[in-house]
Amino acid sequence: MGQLVLGVIWYAVLLFSLTMHEASHAWAAKRGGDLTAYLGGQVSLDPRPHVRREPFGTLVVPLLAFAFSGWMIGWASTPYDPRWAHAHPHRAAWMSLAGPAANLALVLAASFAIRLGMLAEVFEAPAAIGFTQIVVASGDGLASAFALCLSILFTLNLLLLVFNLIPLPPLDGGGAVGLLFSEQTARRVQALLRHPQLSLIGILVAWLLIGRVFGPIHLLAVNLLYPEFGYTVR
């Protein structure tokens, strides 16, 4: 498969995944009473409002990452009213969890499509798993591109899910910590976690941590997808 086609598939899956993640944040905020993201057009699966808000994370970084490493990563963001979050810390925490919930839904959707394709004998389990090889096509042609798309969808959204659930600011897991406390205590925790220095430390620690924890989680997820094969680390 040519690099151009591979890049197009990677970017389509990444942009769709980021859009789902941020639209879910925006939808949850709207449901909780904050219309900031809704008025910005972000309660939508149209990627354009999300790209306009974060062009560096949705355009520049993914293309640079692919050029230098052959895979893509990126980010987007959803605006919210901090006064609303302070008044309703539990609603704000549920808003934080909505993004990772969308990534989990996409992992499950990819898993369902993979198993359905195997029942139809269009797909089969690979001899060895990799970031972009969770399932392979039984033949050539369009099925191979679709298998690659599903493989990236599965692994990328699992990565976004795990990374964002790390309970450190400014990640979604840090925002969800407030659910563990009363609303009064959650407000204090919320104020503490907003400190810029803590956010920088949180990103650095999460980046180091994800390299250690994602491999075993990915292997576990693949074995849940294929309980009959029992993949191991090679």
pLDDT digits (tens, 9 = 90+) for 12-24: 999 999 999 999 9
Task: Please indicate whether residue 22 is annotated as part of the active site.
Answer: yes
Q: What is the pLDDT of residue 129?
A: 93
Q: What is the pLDDT of residue 194?
A: 82
Q: What is the pLDDT of residue 140?
A: 78
Q: What percent of the chain has pLDDT over 90?
A: 88
Helix axes 183-193, 89-119, angle to 10 degrees: 80
Q: Give the DSSP per-residue string, 32-94.
A: HT--HHHHTT-SSS-SHHHHHH-HIIIIIHHHHHHHHHSS----------HHHHHH-HHHHHH
Range in 30-44, 165-179, 182-196, 202-216 the model is least confident about? 182-196
Does residue 195 have a pLDDT over 90? no
Q: What is the pLDDT of residue 233?
A: 76
Residue 218 structure tokens: 């990915």
Those residues whose C-beta lies under 8 Å from the C-beta of residue 132, and which sit 6 or more positions away, are 71, 148, 151, 152, 155
pLDDT bin (cut points 50, 70, 90) of residue 161 is very high
DSSP letter, residue 133: B
Q: What is the pLDDT of residue 163?
A: 97
Q: What percent of the chain has pLDDT over 70?
A: 99
pLDDT digits (tens, 9 = 90+) for 84-118: 999 999 999 999 999 999 999 999 999 999 999 99
Cβ proximity of 64 and 76 under 8 Å: no
Q: Which of 22, 54, 121, 124 is catalytic?
A: 22
Residue 150 structure tokens: 């599903």
pLDDT bin (cut points 50, 70, 90) of residue 1 is low
Q: What is the pLDDT of residue 234?
A: 60
Does residue 141 have a pLDDT over 90? no
pTM listed for this prediction: 0.95
